[in-house]
Amino acid sequence: MTQEAMPATPSPEALAFRNGMSRLGAAVNIVTTDGPAGRHGLTVSAVCSVTDQPPTLLVCINRKAFSHDAFVQNGTICVNVLSPAHQDLSRAFARWTGEDRFATTDWHTRATGAPVLADAAVAFDCRIIDQQSRGTHSVFFCEVNTTEVAEGEANGLVWFDRAFHPLEPH
């Protein structure tokens, strides 16, 4: 399948789509990987459940992202769901500046070896079982090996209208 070149300037329809999508709130996550291609991570909001039999997530990553190929080569991914306390960490993983972003907080590993954020609201340790390409992104289907849910009250961090918004317990 060949890809058409993306226009240099987004069309009015693409701009309207982007503005519309900014109003679709989504959980903020740091996805991580480790393996032969090294340890990498980035901030993403395009994560959703596919099925619970077997537990499977869908994760979308821009193919131009610095760490994209590491996810492909390693075949592992951990989806670390963030809480309001993680805004600065989320910003750090959203950009690539060459610093060791993993050095700023505590991490451990589970079955796949992908980094698990020690105080994530929830962490899904997964193996990538399928990959599809669509436009600028790869869509990864990830089978969950383990789910690690934080103790205590659930707090979340949502990206909505191009800003962070905390979710507090009800």
Give percent above pLDDT 70 in the chain: 95
Q: Which helix (H) or strand (E) holds 98?
A: none
| Location of structure tokens 């600028």 | 136
Answer yes or no: is pLDDT of 73 > 80: yes
pTM: 0.90
Q: Is the Cα dihedral 95, 145, 51, 80 positive or negative? A: negative
Closest by CA to 75, choosing from 138, 21, 135, 18, is: 138
- Per the rule left: phi > 0, alpha: psi between -120 and 50, beta: everything else, 162 is left
Tokens of 9: 């300037």
What digits encode the pLDDT tens for the residues 89-141?
999 999 877 678 999 999 999 999 999 999 999 999 999 999 999 999 999 99
Q: How many CB atoms lie within 10 A of CB 57?
A: 20
**Band of the pLDDT at 18, cuts 50, 70, 90?**
confident
Looking at residue 2, the DSSP 8-state letter turns out to be P
Contact of 167 with 158, CB cutoff 8 Å: yes
The angle at the Cα of 125, spanning 123 to 127, to the nearest 5 degrees, equals: 150
Contact of 23 with 161, CB cutoff 8 Å: yes
Tokens of 139: 């869509």
Looking at residue 84, the DSSP 8-state letter turns out to be G
Distance of CA 145 to the CA centre of its chain: 17
In this predicted model, which residue has the larger pLDDT, 156 or 10? 156
Give percent above pLDDT 90 in the chain: 78
How far apart are the C-alpha atoms of 166 and 27, rounded to whole Å? 10
Answer yes or no: is pLDDT of 59 > 90: yes
Contact of 89 with 109, CB cutoff 8 Å: no
Closest by CA to 128, choosing from 76, 55, 57, 69, is: 76
